[in-house]
Amino acid sequence: EVKLLESGGGLVQPGGSLRLSCAASGFTFADFYMSWIRQSPGKAPEWLSFIRNKANSYTTEYNPSVKGRFTISRDDTQNVLYLQMNTLRAEDTAIYYCAKHRGVPDFWGPGTMVTVSS
Partner 1 sequence: DVVMTQTPVSLSVSLGGQVSISCRSSQSLVHNNGNTYLSWYLQKPGQSPQLLIYKVSNRFSGISDRFSGSGSGTDFTLKISRVEPDDLGVYYCGQGTQYPLTFGSGTKLEIK
Q: Which residues bind partner 1 (CB under 8 A)?
A: 35, 44-47, 50, 61-65, 97, 103-111
Nearer to partner 1, 77 or 104 (CB): 104
Distance CA 32, CA 102 (A): 7
Task: State the nearest-atom distance from the C-beta of 43 to partner 1, in Å.
Answer: 8
Distance CA 4, CA 26 (A): 9
Nearer to partner 1, 82 or 97 (CB): 97
Task: State the nearest-atom distance from the C-beta of 79 to partner 1, in Å.
Answer: 19
Nearer to partner 1, 46 or 76 (CB): 46
Task: State the nearest-atom distance from the C-beta of 61 to partner 1, in Å.
Answer: 5
Give, in order, the Cα–Cα distances in Å from 22 to each of 13, 40, 51, 100, 118.
Answer: 22, 19, 13, 10, 26
Distance CA 27, CA 24 (A): 8
Task: State the nearest-atom distance from the C-beta of 106 to partner 1, in Å.
Answer: 5
Nearer to partner 1, 44 or 118 (CB): 44
CB neighbour class for 77 (10 Å; exposed up to 12, middle 13-18, buried from 19): exposed
